[in-house]
Amino acid sequence: MEKKCFFLLLTELLQNVVGARRSSWRVISSIEQKTSNCSDTQHESKVFYLKMKGDYYRYLAEVATGEKRTKKKQTDKSSFRVCGLLLCSFY
């Protein structure tokens, strides 16, 4: 009986993990499809927005301290990274 309960719990755990990753993959795929269908002006607008977002968090990180500063630095780096990826795919 214990083996059956363990197996059921393990199965449910794996389904939850795989289901969450599958869902994330679908979201990423749909974003990639939407991005690939964008016109030049839409790409420029996205790049401009991401650059502004990165600048905003960089400015906040300049005045923040401690853990808040670390989080803001990570956010601005990720915005600039996505901006760079969009620029690479654009040209």
Give yes or no: residues 3 and 21 share one domain: yes
Three-state DSSP at 52 gives: helix
Give yes or no: residues 33 and 47 share one domain: no
Query: Domain residues for 25?
Result: 1-37
Q: Which residues contact 69 (CB under 8 A, 6 or more apart)?
A: 61
Give yes or no: residues 33 and 51 share one domain: no
Global pTM?
A: 0.43
Crossing angle between the packed helical segments 40-63 and 66-90, to the nearest 10 degrees: 160
Give yes or no: residues 77 and 54 share one domain: yes
Number of domains in the chain: 2
Give yes or no: residues 50 and 89 share one domain: yes
Give yes or no: residues 83 and 70 share one domain: yes
Q: What is the pLDDT along the chain (91 residues), one digit of tens a residue?
A: 577 787 788 788 778 777 877 887 888 788 777 766 666 677 778 778 878 887 887 777 777 788 877 877 777 777 777 777 766 665 5
Give yes or no: residues 30 and 46 share one domain: no
Give yes or no: residues 65 and 32 share one domain: no
